[in-house]
Amino acid sequence: MPKMGSLVTLTGGLSSFSCRTWLEFYTLTTTRTRTQGNTCRTNSVWYKPRKPTPIMSGIVEKIAEIEAEMARTQKNKATAGHLGMLKAKLAKLRRELITPKSQGGGTSDGFEVAKTGDARIGFIGFPSVGKSTLLSNLAGVYSEVAAYEFTTLTTVPGCIKYKGAKVQLLDLPGIIEGAKDGKGRGRQVIAVGKTCSLIFIVLDVLKPLQHKRIIEKELDGFGIRLNKKAPNIGFRRKEKGGINLQCLVPQSELDIDLVKTILGEYRIHNADVTLRFDATSDDLIDVVEGNRTYVPCIYLLNKIDQISIEELDIVCQIPHCVPISAHHKWNYDSLLEKMWEYLQLVRIYTKPKGQLPDYESPVVLQTDHCTLEDFCNKIHRTIIKELKYALVWGSSVKHQPQKVGKDHVLHDEDVVQIVKKI
């Protein structure tokens, strides 16, 4: 039997390990206790408590004070200006917490992974909800699976090919409540999530709403907006002239006084603001901050084999959800179809002159960047300089084929033949 000493084993110390999720792992060995007959092999985890820096502690305390004051303040027309000021202060403090001042070089501890393929999907969820099992089944990549929490401690990448597109999958370590405030490794996990084209939030179907609410709060505090579009607000700073507010539609919350109060927290006293929809103070703060990420999201209700059909009908009313069983591989087809719908990728097939189109290896573009120029740059940046015109077959043109220029917007499964200058 190995000496236990100051080690915390993954079996005997599991309850202590789960409760002390703020700990920073110091040295890790990637095995666990196994018992066979009268023999026992144990490998353990060294850990070293990480004390938060005074600066981070001060910011967290200020955030807690502001949140408490916001909770005490009644929401009405008279307090709108005060609440707007508090929200602006809160956004500034969260930015300082997320992007602290540099203190020298460091390592990412294996959290960041080089981006490959045509799109990237991150698995985010609480520990032990089935993220590793899902990755192993979808991508055929080994990601350690066990019945205890925090099995995955670094980002595990995988890749699948679906409808001609290569999609990178990232199994991220489990996050905990308070991740946005620096607890555990949540900040690193959510930072990787900001680079994803799509987020899979994996939920335990036995407590989906509770986990969903907590994870959404953590992502929102980190500047990630799920299934939302950027606010249609025009904002331009200027050197003089004061605050000029233009409302193209009637506003229920924002007025010139509230806008001045919010911008005053950022020491902005000269700017043009154009509201093109009924905006809130949160929308204006997001635009002023300028560091928000808008990512589509699918909620995966895992472990549906543990509930009844009647219960499943109830939980499936959650928007943007797909019920699955990662262990039994149930409903994977619906998951992949939903994934393709939310990724909004555009496949373009190439056609060399005098030959048939290549339907095996399409050029994959994003929906918001799918012009002929984007298509040429995806292949090679020198092609656009030699482009004379292109012949296009597909739904984006009236005639088959049709000559188009570099600004033509391509549709999914169009066929393109490039004609170069002589």
Classify burial at 37, counting beta carbons within 10 Å of its beta carbon; exposed 0-12, middle 13-18, buried 19 or more.
exposed
Arithmetic mean of pLDDT over the chain: 81
> Which pLDDT belongs to residue 5?
41
Q: Is the pLDDT of residue 32 over 60?
A: no
> Which pLDDT belongs to residue 324?
95
- Identify the DSSP state of 53: P
Mean pLDDT of 324-345: 95
d(CA 375, CA 332): 31
Q: Where are the domains of the chain?
A: 8-48, 119-228+294-342, 233-293, 346-420
Mean pLDDT of 5-12: 38
Mean pLDDT of 166-191: 75
Reported confidence tier of residue 19, pLDDT bands at 50, 70, 90: very low
Q: Is the pLDDT of residue 7 over 60?
A: no
- Tokens matching residue 224: 């990630």
pLDDT in tens, 397-409: 999 999 999 999 9
Mean pLDDT of 156-166: 92
Contact 249, 76 (CB under 8 A): no
d(CA 217, CA 63): 14
> Which pLDDT belongs to residue 97?
66
- Identify the DSSP state of 231: -
Q: Is the pLDDT of residue 183 over 70?
A: no
d(CA 410, CA 412): 7
Mean pLDDT of 160-169: 94
Contact 276, 232 (CB under 8 A): yes
Under CATH, which architecture does the 119-228+294-342 domain have?
Answer: 3-Layer(aba) Sandwich (3.40)
pLDDT in tens, 275-313: 999 999 999 999 999 889 999 999 999 999 999 999 999
Cβ atoms < 10 Å from Cβ of 306:
12
> Which pLDDT belongs to residue 225?
94
Q: Which candidate, 421, 368, 371, places its Cα nearest to that of 392?
A: 371
Fold for domain 346-420?
Ubiquitin-like (UB roll) (3.10.20)
Mean pLDDT of 219-229: 90
pLDDT in tens, 359-377: 999 999 998 889 999 999 9
> Which pLDDT belongs to residue 38?
41
Max mean pLDDT among 6-15, 105-114, 170-179, 238-247 falls in 238-247
Sign of the CA dihedral running 82, 83, 89, 92: negative
